[in-house]
Amino acid sequence: MNDARQHDDANERGSAQNHGASVGLTADKITIRGGIPLVGRIEVKGAKNLVTKAMVAALLGETPSVLKDVPNISDVRIVRGLLEVHGVKVTEGDEPGTLVLDPVDVESAHFAAIDAHAGSSRIPILFCGPLLHRLGEAFIPDLGGCRIGDRPIDFHLEVLRKFGAVVEKQPNGIRMSAPNGLKGAKLELPYPSVGATEQVLLTAVRAEGLTELKGAAIEPEIMDLINILQKMGAIITVDTDRVIRIEGVARLVGYNHRALFDRNEAASWAAAALATDGDIFVGGARQAEMITFLNVFRKVGGAFDICDDGIRFYHPGGDLKPVIIETGVHPGFMTDWQQPLVIALTKAHGTSIVHETVYEQRFGFVDALVEMGATIQIHKECLGGHTCRFGQRNFNHSAVITGPTKLRGADIIVPDLRGGFSHLIAALSAEGTSTVSNVGIISRGYENFIGKLRLLGADFDLEG
Ligand code: EPU
């Protein structure tokens, strides 16, 4: 395996039961009787894609950090486990959903303890910079995460090398060392990768001298990570045109932070409200980080009310309308939003196009929808107006959805996290009964989704 193409060999389906079990979901299969509008109020906590990185940032502090609004999801459990094997003491704080992360006794972990986390998540790659600063070495197991493309880590390894890390590929992962310490560098990403930008931030804050990163990702979760690092003592400037400058400092302290809400979870419940003719109040959701989603939601025919404590998403009646969506980096339409929203598009009157430009293989979930009666064709060409980096590369990355179609219940198997939530919505909005298997994966990113479905009036039984 060459290091530019290193990705997980873990069988996502095989590990699904473990994902659910670690957060108290014992069933792996749900039988859903569809056709009931989801109505009610649910709350979202901190964003999976911020909280997990914030937990890693705690490694950089000389004193304990306090993170609030941490959701009980299996990705958080995995990162917690990996921190604990490196000597970080993680305890629950007084307020529910609060973690106290004490890195004072950070130590090198045994290979077996680290390897136990192989294939479970993509977050371990972000341990590199903090561990190199703290211990002078790091071992990163093979990564996991959703299978929605090849998901290489070449950008990560390239920037770490430029900071001065020595990277050595080994059969079960990557060993790194920093014999001469880490030094600030001039860096440019070929694509505004979220993970690689976080890698640079978590490494540069304590590297000696100045780091300049061009082509950075600027997702709200990254901005919140910058908030956290600033609280710890870092000096970070976000300039125009995706340039981030970091002045390295000699020491950082712990932070106290309430995590940014999970806009991907909020968008998923919004999509569920629209597809089921429902009405869901998502407590904790905020407008500013969802502006692009809200525009599309409205164009499809959904309605929303912005309130101080959340956003109400509902189907106001009338026909849903087709849209052309192109996913992209922030402030574009997030790739994580397209999968749940596709279910509503199967009910829209006309032809919608979804051009996926972030991941080359994020349409695996549509086979099950076609089996349920949706009319969806997947194309290799860039449809919808623009040419993306996947255009000449034979990837099935554009979907044409023709509606309206009625979905019928079926037996379906969840392929990945967001695709899985999309399958739940399909089953909830379909006529008849569906059996959705492998639902444990959904626990990677959706806290207590079973309890929330109950609150919203869904009719289902758990099995297995
Ligand atoms: N890429 C490379 N080389 C690299 C890194 C990325 O080619 O070294 C490519 C990827 O293959 C992909 C693109 O760059 O085609 C964007 O990847 P990015 O690094 O931005 O994604 P990520 O950091 O791995 C995070 C989220 C994803 C979310 C994306 C985009 C986490 C743990 N994951 O992934 O969330 O879709 O950013 O916003 O933060 C999810 O929550 O379901 C999920 C997949």
- Is the predicted pLDDT of residue 2 greater than 90, yes or no? no
pLDDT, tens digit (0-9, with 9 covering 90-100), for 174-206: 999 999 999 999 999 999 999 999 999 999 999
> If we measure between CA atoms, which residue out of 209, 219, 202, 156 comes closest to residue 185?
209
- Is the predicted pLDDT of residue 273 greater than 60, yes or no? yes
**Contact (Cβ atoms closer than 8 angstroms) between residue 306 and residue 331:** no
408: annotated binding-site residue?
no
169: annotated binding-site residue?
no
Give percent above pLDDT 70 in the chain: 96
The rounded distance, in Å, linking the Cα atoms of 367 and 63 is 49
pLDDT, tens digit (0-9, with 9 covering 90-100), for 142-179: 887 777 677 889 999 999 999 999 999 888 889 999 99
The rounded distance, in Å, linking the Cα atoms of 51 and 71 is 8
Sheet holding 350-355, edge to edge: 324-326, 350-355, 398-403, 375-379
pLDDT, tens digit (0-9, with 9 covering 90-100), for 369-411: 999 999 999 999 999 889 999 987 889 999 999 999 999 999 9
Measured distance between the N- and C-terminal CA atoms of the chain, rounded to whole angstroms? 36
Q: Active site includes 146? A: yes
**Contact (Cβ atoms closer than 8 angstroms) between residue 54 and residue 72:** no
Structural tokens at position 115: 């390897």
pLDDT, tens digit (0-9, with 9 covering 90-100), for 61-79: 999 999 999 999 999 999 9
pTM attached to this predicted model: 0.95
- Name the closest-CA residue to atom 33, ligand 1: 49
Check residue 121 and give its pLDDT: 83
- Measured CA to CA in angstroms, residue 2 lies from 125, 147, 176, 429, 442 at distances of 16, 18, 16, 44, 30
How far, in Å, is the centroid of ligand 1 from the Cα of 370? 27
Integer Rg of the chain from CA = 22
* Residue among 78, 125, 194 whose CB has most ligand 1 atoms within 8 A, to mutate: 194
Over residues 109-120, the mean pLDDT reads: 77
The rounded distance, in Å, linking the Cα atoms of 355 and 327 is 6
Check residue 4 and give its pLDDT: 37
Domain 1-44+261-463, CATH among 3.65.10.10, 1.10.357.10, 3.40.50.2300, 3.40.220.10:
3.65.10.10
- Is the predicted pLDDT of residue 10 greater than 70, yes or no? no
Please list the residue range(s) of the chain that carry CATH number 3.65.10.10. Answer: 1-44+261-463, 48-258
Pocket of ligand 1 (CB under 6 A): 48-49, 122, 146, 149, 151-156, 191, 193-196, 217, 219, 264, 334-336, 358-359, 417-418, 445
The rounded distance, in Å, linking the Cα atoms of 219 and 366 is 27
Check residue 27 and give its pLDDT: 81
Q: Picking from 8-22, 159-173, 234-248, which range would have the lowest pLDDT averaged per residue?
A: 8-22
- Is the predicted pLDDT of residue 23 greater than 90, yes or no? no
pLDDT, tens digit (0-9, with 9 covering 90-100), for 80-97: 999 999 999 999 999 999
Per DSSP, 37 falls in state: -
Over residues 209-237, the mean pLDDT reads: 98
- CA of residue 62 relative to chain centroid, distance: 28
pLDDT, tens digit (0-9, with 9 covering 90-100), for 303-325: 999 999 999 999 999 999 999 99
Check residue 18 and give its pLDDT: 64
Check residue 14 and give its pLDDT: 38
Dihedral of the CA atoms 451, 456, 457, 463 (nearest 10)?
A: -30
Check residue 13 and give its pLDDT: 36
pLDDT, tens digit (0-9, with 9 covering 90-100), for 281-310: 999 999 999 999 999 999 999 999 999 999
Over residues 414-419, the mean pLDDT reads: 94
**With bands split at pLDDT 50, 70 and 90, how would you rate the model's confidence at 19?**
confident
pLDDT, tens digit (0-9, with 9 covering 90-100), for 52-63: 999 999 999 999
Q: Has domain 48-258 been given CATH number 3.65.10.10? A: yes
11 contacts: CB under 8 Å, gap ≥ 6:
none
- Measured CA to CA in angstroms, residue 38 lies from 26, 313, 387, 419, 448 at distances of 23, 11, 37, 19, 16
- What does pLDDT average to over the chain? 93
Q: Which amino acid is at 187?
A: L
